[in-house]
Structure 1
Amino acid sequence: MKPFQIHPIFAIPLLTALALFTQPNALTAREPAAKANTREEKQRENREFRAAICAHHISSGLWVVGRDYQRTAEEVIAQDIAPFTYFGWQPDFKYHVDEERKIVTVTAPGAPPRSARYLGDQGSTILPRGKEDVFFQPVKVPRNLPNASTQNWPMGEVGATTPLPDGVDSKAVAAALDWAMAQEDQNTRALVVAYDGKIIGERYAPGWTKDTPQISWSQGKSITATLIAILVQRGLLEIDQLAPIKEWQNDARREIRIRDLLQMSSGLDFANLGFKGETLTPENQHMRVYFDSLNVFEHVLKAPAKVPPGTRNAYLNSDPLSLGKIIRDTVEAQGEDYLTFPQRALFDKIGARSPVLETDPWGNFILSGYDYLSARDWVRFGLLYLQDGVWQGERILPEGWTDFVATPAPADEKRNYGGMFWVNRAPRMDQVPQDAYWPAGFMGQVTMIIPSRKLVVVRMGPSAGDVYPFLNETIGRILKAIP
């Protein structure tokens, strides 16, 4: 493989004058009426924000996940929300579903009601307090692909599982998957194994299928990296260029490179207070993008520098969302439509029909966590990386990109993180080869890519515990069943 190639910039993206003059006052629309000072006020604020994220989950559970099979609000609450303390659902929370306008409203005791609205191909968006609509025009995202039943795997579904590659012990694969699905504490909803380009085994929980789009959480960060890679391949960005963000040019942030952002090493000051207890407050900058109706790009661009770029590795949403801002500016500077760009530039290329990438009320992708894909489409994503960024003879990602994302970030002393992908160099899992790397999302969403064994393993479903011992054992069993 050749070293990673650097391409010249053909354009430096800028916000258009039209966008500047047509966007409403974002700060006024999204900020709480008053800052919470007393403990009682903070508790009320925490309940309000938990109502907001629950409204989002009900909305997307009904109309994003529910596009594959019909679900009721009661089922979504019982399956996706109430069992998990992260979301803070309480029996005295009240909800209302407006089927006609596709709005879900949740009210917590003593707090203002909060709503989320389903926007079609942009999924569901938490609305600012008291608002009933978003501040952008949602668009339909065409899938420029024929019916999957008419195309061969991996562009379609024909021949996805047959014939099996030579040397596969199908009984041992089946036994490994049966064992994995029997671990009820993991709540696995999809488990798919692809070896040498073919699916050699898959299992789904009742009600979940190969086509069901599931919330993938921070696996979306790896999609962000991939969209950056596509723009590098087109010659519109360079990995080592200074981040083309105009808001950063008059202070220390002007030294941040795209490489630093990809490696979670920007050095930005961006608090992450976690997702438990009374942490859902405006001070929780990292998590706030999931429970408040923010303009997420404005939010992250306010983060000041804390340490020099490249000197500290910290897992913070500031970095992938800053990359998201760069993606939007770059795409729109080329006269392309931002909201359809991921499907056109990436998903159509690899036969992925299920993706729904959700936005904030201003139409910015919250691709640090609000993304829905089916398990088989995550397999396709993994295969793109397994094939060094080449898909059916077309180079989609720059030569050497897969090596870059799978190499530990220099600032990461634990050697666990690469370029918006996690890595196993430490290793984190002793039954998994050290060349493995993967997108990972909250509550156990994982697409494991193992180049030395030509293997992709996708695991989805909301696990409340540590998923890695489970993955270590599951993949260890699978590895024994293949050459």
Structure 2
Amino acid sequence: MAWLKAIFVGLVLLIIVAVSGFFIWLAPVGAGYTAKVMCSRIFVSGLSSERALKEDVLADNNPMLSLITANIDLRHQTVSAHAFGFRTRIAVYRPNMGCTLTNPENATSMQNSSPVLRPIAPQPLMTAPVPPAVDRRQLNNILAAAMDEPELKPSRRTRAIVILYKGQVVAERYASGISVNTPLTGWSMTKSAFSAILGRMRMTGMLPPLNYPVSINEWDTQPDDPRAKITYDELLQMRSGLEFDESYWNPISDVVQMLFVAPSAAGLAVSKPLVATPGSEWQYSSGTTNVLSAAMRNLSRSIQQYQALPAELLFRPLGMNHAVVETDSDGYLVASSFMHATGREWAKLGQLYLQDGIWNGTRLLPEGWVTHATSPAPHAPNGMYGAHWWLKLPSDGQHPADTPAIPADAFFALGHDGQSLSVIPSKDLVIVRLGLTRKAKAFDLHKFVGGIAALFPEHQENADKQDEAQESRNTNK
């Protein structure tokens, strides 16, 4: 009977460890994630509370999230979440700032500290028919397949598709309950938007040259802190050398703690130690973008000016009147992950980069900024990353031979759950796809982008150059 007793004691201890682990590690993450995501989807995107819970929180996600209870306060525009009455987190909505995750005792003061931002005049995009050279039936088939579900149980969940050709909307599709005016999360596409905001800061003289050391108080005040030598460019190119765990499956990883537990995303990011010499290695890290956010705060005259940077430097000149970047509890913009914008507004970001930083005839980004952003960063594997823009899809090389090729000059903003912004200068194309896709095989972005690109003609300048090259070859025969 001794062995039965030992098994029983072992099971009891295992249960105690599991329960303790849930309340210590999983519960605060689950409550924070549930409150933040539901708040943003309900009060920023305008989705129903039922849809926000069933799709955005629970669908194809960690089953432990079903143990979290959420409470929506429509009057005060908050969402609180807890695990069996413990580890309560609350997300507070504020106009122009979206939702901020905090603790219950801070909710009231946060609601009373909403900054006032000037209204942004919209700049509607022009629409145009699909060019005659494009096979309209094939294009419609690609779009229909992207909006369709591959299985009986939804797993693709495409919510918005926008295609710009020569700066005009030639095709778009929206899921039920989503419209042209629905702001949708970009997750890590936010990083590419902050590349543009930093470019605007450089254009206006707020940002020093990229080879200058970044301005971080915690590093600058420590004698001989080696982190104080990290440059803006090393951060933009993901070569900071800072320790950072980007594992989304792990509740105690840096990225999960930074986004859903820590009061300051920027504070957690700047606290990380060096694990490599700055500039010597490439490592994708959401923390680096929030280090840049902390530097942006130091370069601003006030917290009000800092929090208004996205609106004043990017959203206003592009007429993005639905876009918002959310902050953490300490007031820092969560530059790695928390921007929302409509499908057309995300497309405007891509169009700005396609046009080399020029918008309506005015240069918004410094000359060479786009070229630098879309040039391979040193040490980036297979040249897949530039300066806060992807130059190749992470899935490249993992497709059948008959998969349509994506033009070599394409570059991308990519985000969690299948968000993508594809810019293809040689085709004059910008392609936005937003959704909620957590199963890797539910949506093939490479096939989607490559299939659309194959239907559109080459940019005329490129075609002329090819004709000239062919004539030169014929003459020299």
1:28 aligned residue: none
Shift of the alpha carbon at 1:40?
A: 3.6
1:240 aligned residue: 211
2:23 aligned residue: 44
Alpha-carbon distance change, 381 to 89 in structure 1, aligned in 2, over 3 angstroms? same
Q: What letter is aligned with 1:280? A: P
Q: Percent identity?
A: 27
Cα offsets for 1:440-478 (capped at 9, x unmatched): 110111100011111110000110122796122122221
Shift of the alpha carbon at 1:414?
A: 3.2
Alpha-carbon distance change, 436 to 449 in structure 1, aligned in 2, over 3 angstroms? same
Equivalents in 1 of 2:245, 2:129: separation in Å?
A: 50
Shift of the alpha carbon at 1:134?
A: 5.1
2:41 aligned residue: 61
Alpha-carbon distance change, 235 to 166 in structure 1, aligned in 2, over 3 angstroms? farther
2:143 aligned residue: 177
2:158 aligned residue: 188
Whether contact under 8 Å (1:126, 1:293) holds in the other structure is: no
One of 406, 413, 428 as aligned partner of 1:432: 406
Alpha-carbon distance change, 173 to 143 in structure 1, aligned in 2, over 3 angstroms? farther
Shift of the alpha carbon at 1:166?
A: 5.6
Which 5+ residue runs of structure 1 have no aligned equivalent?
A: 1-36, 149-154
Residue 342 of structure 2 corresponds to residue 374 of structure 1: yes
2:470 aligned residue: none
Q: Relative contact order: is structure 1 or structure 2 higher (C-alpha 8 Å, sep ≥ 6)?
A: 1
Moved more, 387-396 or 123-132: 123-132
One of 69, 94, 100 as aligned partner of 1:94: 69
Whether contact under 8 Å (1:127, 1:293) holds in the other structure is: no
One of 438, 450, 462 as aligned partner of 2:436: 462
Equivalents in 1 of 2:281, 2:238: separation in Å?
A: 8
Structure 1 residue matching 2:382: 3-state secondary structure: coil
1:213 aligned residue: 183
Q: What letter is aligned with 1:354? A: H
Q: How does 1:268-287 map to 2 (within 5 A)?
A: 268-272=242-246, 274-276=247-249, 279-281=250-252, 284-287=253-256
Whether contact under 8 Å (1:134, 1:362) holds in the other structure is: no
2:298 aligned residue: 329
Equivalents in 2 of 1:358, 1:59: separation in Å?
A: 11
Equivalents in 2 of 1:224, 1:330: separation in Å?
A: 15
Shift of the alpha carbon at 1:287?
A: 2.0
One of 312, 316, 327 as aligned partner of 2:285: 316
Moved more, 388-397 or 163-172: 163-172
Q: What letter is aligned with 1:54? A: T
Equivalents in 2 of 1:443, 1:38: separation in Å?
A: 31
1:79 aligned residue: 55
Whether contact under 8 Å (1:416, 1:428) holds in the other structure is: no
Shift of the alpha carbon at 1:435?
A: 1.3
Q: How does 1:373-452 map to 2 (within 5 A)?
A: 373-424=341-392, 428=396, 431-452=405-426
Alpha-carbon distance change, 318 to 265 in structure 1, aligned in 2, over 3 angstroms? same
Shift of the alpha carbon at 1:242?
A: 1.2
Whether contact under 8 Å (1:241, 1:258) holds in the other structure is: yes
Structure 2 residue matching 1:360: 3-state secondary structure: coil
Cα offsets for 1:85-141 (capped at 9, x unmatched): 248421x43222222222212121373322211122211111126543355821133
1:127 aligned residue: 102
1:252 aligned residue: 226
Moved more, 228-237 or 80-89: 80-89
Q: What letter is aligned with 1:478? A: I
Alpha-carbon distance change, 393 to 227 in structure 1, aligned in 2, over 3 angstroms? same
Shift of the alpha carbon at 1:38?
A: 5.4
Alpha-carbon distance change, 98 to 323 in structure 1, aligned in 2, over 3 angstroms? same
Whether contact under 8 Å (1:82, 1:88) holds in the other structure is: no
Q: What letter is aligned with 1:452? A: S
Equivalents in 2 of 1:426, 1:64: separation in Å?
A: 30
Cα offsets for 1:24-73 (capped at 9, x unmatched): xxxxxxxxxxxxx955432212123201210111211211111xxxx432
Equivalents in 2 of 1:409, 1:481: separation in Å?
A: 30
Shift of the alpha carbon at 1:374?
A: 0.7
With normalisation by structure 2, the TM-score equals 0.84
2:167 aligned residue: 197
Q: What letter is aligned with 1:457? A: I
Whether contact under 8 Å (2:130, 2:171) holds in the other structure is: no
Structure 2 residue matching 1:372: 3-state secondary structure: strand
Which 5+ residue runs of structure 2 have no aligned equivalent?
A: 1-15, 398-403, 458-477
Which structure dedicates a bigger proportion of its chain to helix? 2
Residue 211 of structure 2 corresponds to residue 231 of structure 1: no
Equivalents in 2 of 1:219, 1:212: separation in Å?
A: 17
Cα offsets for 1:358-403 (capped at 9, x unmatched): 1111211112111111110011111000000000111101111111
1:358 aligned residue: 326
Alpha-carbon distance change, 81 to 340 in structure 1, aligned in 2, over 3 angstroms? same
Equivalents in 2 of 1:424, 1:77: separation in Å?
A: 33
Equivalents in 2 of 1:399, 1:54: separation in Å?
A: 42
Whether contact under 8 Å (2:79, 2:90) holds in the other structure is: yes
Residue 120 of structure 2 corresponds to residue 144 of structure 1: yes
Equivalents in 2 of 1:54, 1:328: separation in Å?
A: 28
Shift of the alpha carbon at 1:292?
A: 1.2
Structure 2 residue matching 1:448: 3-state secondary structure: strand
1:168 aligned residue: 134
Q: What letter is aligned with 2:57? A: I
Alpha-carbon distance change, 118 to 310 in structure 1, aligned in 2, over 3 angstroms? same
Backbone CA RMSD of aligned residues: 2.3
Structure 2 residue matching 1:101: 3-state secondary structure: coil
Equivalents in 2 of 1:294, 1:190: separation in Å?
A: 32
Equivalents in 1 of 2:442, 2:157: separation in Å?
A: 14
Equivalents in 2 of 1:262, 1:452: separation in Å?
A: 25
Shift of the alpha carbon at 1:479?
A: 2.2
Alpha-carbon distance change, 188 to 289 in structure 1, aligned in 2, over 3 angstroms? same
Equivalents in 1 of 2:49, 2:56: separation in Å?
A: 10
Equivalents in 1 of 2:115, 2:95: separation in Å?
A: 8
